[in-house]
Structure 1
Amino acid sequence: MKKLNLCLLVGGLSLFLASCASILQPYDAKTPLGEQINYTITGIDAGAGIMTGAEKAIDLYDLSKDNWQLQPSSTAAMTSTLDKAIKDKRPIVVTGWTPHWMFTKYDLKFLDDPKGAFGKAENIHTIVRKDLKKEEPTAYTILDRFYWTPEEMADVMLQVNDGIDPEVAAKEWLKKNPDQLNKWTEGLEKVDGNSIKLTYVAWDSEIASTNVVALALQKMGYKTTIQAMEIQPMWASVATNAADAMVAAWLPNTAGIFYQDYKDDIEDLGVNLKGAKLGLVVPTYMENINSIEDLKTK
């Protein structure tokens, strides 16, 4: 029994020490950043476009020499890890993009990317099936007129992140922004229960925009349905007329390959949001980390 108790004591002490060792300390500007976070960039789902950009950054900036690595997780896991780090002012580097609610909730900054690993700023486009204008001119015009700002999108995203149902958050936003709804629907004829299907990628930004557009269409008499898909099936659904439209086309970089594959079978109505951006992101209290280059030496 004494031997068993001793083993339990030693085992418990080992677990305690291990847990203590895993607790990161607050950010220290005098200590190289890599040493503080085990040379790890916290990412999202493996295979996401932003992860490809992060891997390219590790290569272009020669970060692999210092054993920098990209840790895949999920969007939810990444933002949870970011939240915990910021509460304790700990160091962290994440893959980030805007528009996203985390830029509204936290003080964050993109690291400069002078070598262009993540490409230039992107825009989000509205894509519709061919013949939509002829068959559903009211829906086509609403989708063609749909445009909002990153700040407006972030308002909806933040509510959803706080636990509000996306449809409820979209209704609240439209109620508070009647001028926007009027811009999209002014002078159009209402329909009587015509069906419209929208597809989207289940990113926070696209959940927000798709729910807002779906409700705007409902205001004009449409029976709208929305369906989440992976990015390639989303494009294919519009190109094959399985869906009517999507407002989730990040171009020219993130979805560029899919645009090239399907451009002859869809209609691009143009930009619905300007200035989308992807890159590596840190909290602003990491004052001396301002460029991806800084990960090598600071």
Structure 2
Amino acid sequence: GLEGEYKVVSSSTSSMLAELNASIKKKEPVVVTLWSPHWAYGKHDLKKLEDPKGAWGKGEEVHTVAHNGFAKKAPAVADWLKKFKLTEKQLTSLENEIQDAGQGKEQDGVRSWLKKNPGLVDTLAPLPGGAGGTQEGKDAGKTVNMGYFPWDEAIASTYLWQNMLEDRGYKTTVKQLDPGPLYTGLAQGQLDVQFDSWLPTTHKDYWDRYKDDLT
């Protein structure tokens, strides 16, 4: 019954966000089909609408997925990643710092965010022997190959871990790929880990195809 008052417009993500920004500036009502986590929740005072009839289906979870052999290659890192969690507020604020830093300056955004969250690195990647112990991981010197597709939460998590791992004495490579090649690379062991598997629905086809080689 909203057809006379609201019009649904199909567009790209960037156009949707531009419309959201413009409507808020003009103080006009607007509804967007925005996923969460997303940096827009940190930039604007947004309200999530209820979905009592389940029109959008059940919610998904964002998972860290690695090649099955990664735990043998870098057991300390694998242990950190098994326990890796950020709250929606933390991830959204990290996305905002990276947005503010600008494209190509993702690590500037990460460093700015870490300064505002002291102690978080020691929580996410605890050192052997605690804070007074060595400043490197148990298997430091190993190379961790990370892949991501250009979704904001994937960019944020990937560059966060690049920063932390290099700080802990590891080498890293970071590659941007489409989901298909990324999952293929993970399954074949060309990539070690990615931080943005949306399950059980969005990436179901990839998971079903490659799950025997992934964890």
CA drift of 1:261 comes to: 1.6
Among residues 18, 21, 33, which one is paired with 1:80 in the alignment?
A: 18
Matched, 1:115 2:53: yes
- Alignment identity in percent? 33
Maintained 8 Å contact 1:218/1:224: yes
Give the distance between the partners of 1:104 and 1:176, measured in 2 at CA.
Answer: 15
Please give the secondary structure, in 1, of the residue aligned with 2:80.
helix
- Deviation readout 1:81-135 (Å, 9 max, x if unpaired): 1100111122322220111111111122233222323222222111111111111
Please give the secondary structure, in 1, of the residue aligned with 2:155.
helix
Aligned to 1:96: 34
Aligned to 1:240: 188
Among residues 209, 212, 215, which one is paired with 1:261 in the alignment?
A: 209
Give the distance between the partners of 2:64 and 2:40, measured in 1 at CA.
Answer: 24
Give the distance between the partners of 1:132 and 1:229, measured in 2 at CA.
Answer: 19
Q: TM-score, normalised by structure 2?
A: 0.86
Please list, as runs of the form range in 1=range in 2, the aligned pairs for 1:208-227 lying within 5 A after superposition: 208-227=156-175
Moved more, 237-246 or 166-175: 166-175
CA RMSD of aligned residues (A): 1.8
Unaligned runs of 5+ in 1: 1-31, 42-70, 268-298
- Deviation readout 1:169-212 (Å, 9 max, x if unpaired): 112222333422112322242512x2211111211111111111
Give the distance between the partners of 1:111 and 1:172, measured in 2 at CA.
Answer: 32
Matched, 1:231 2:170: no
CA drift of 1:33 comes to: 4.5
Among residues 89, 94, 105, which one is paired with 1:151 in the alignment?
A: 89
Matched, 1:189 2:138: yes
Matched letter for residue 108 of structure 2: V
Give the distance between the partners of 1:261 and 1:198, measured in 2 at CA.
Answer: 20
- Deviation readout 1:253-290 (Å, 9 max, x if unpaired): 222222112111111xxxxxxxxxxxxxxxxxxxxxxx
Matched letter for residue 261 of structure 1: R
Matched letter for residue 135 of structure 1: K
Please give the secondary structure, in 1, of the residue aligned with 2:197.
strand
Give the distance between the partners of 2:150 and 2:68, measured in 1 at CA.
Answer: 24
Please give the secondary structure, in 1, of the residue aligned with 2:160.
helix
Bigger relative contact order (CA 8 A; separation at least 6) = 1
Maintained 8 Å contact 1:189/1:220: no
Matched letter for residue 205 of structure 1: E
- Deviation readout 1:64-86 (Å, 9 max, x if unpaired): xxxxxxx132x222111110011
Give the distance between the partners of 1:94 and 1:244, measured in 2 at CA.
Answer: 35
Please give the secondary structure, in 1, of the residue aligned with 2:93.
helix
Matched letter for residue 140 of structure 2: V
Give the distance between the partners of 1:233 and 1:116, measured in 2 at CA.
Answer: 32
Among residues 164, 179, 184, which one is paired with 2:119 in the alignment?
A: 179
Could you say which structure has the larger radius of gyration? Answer: 1
Matched, 1:40 2:5: no
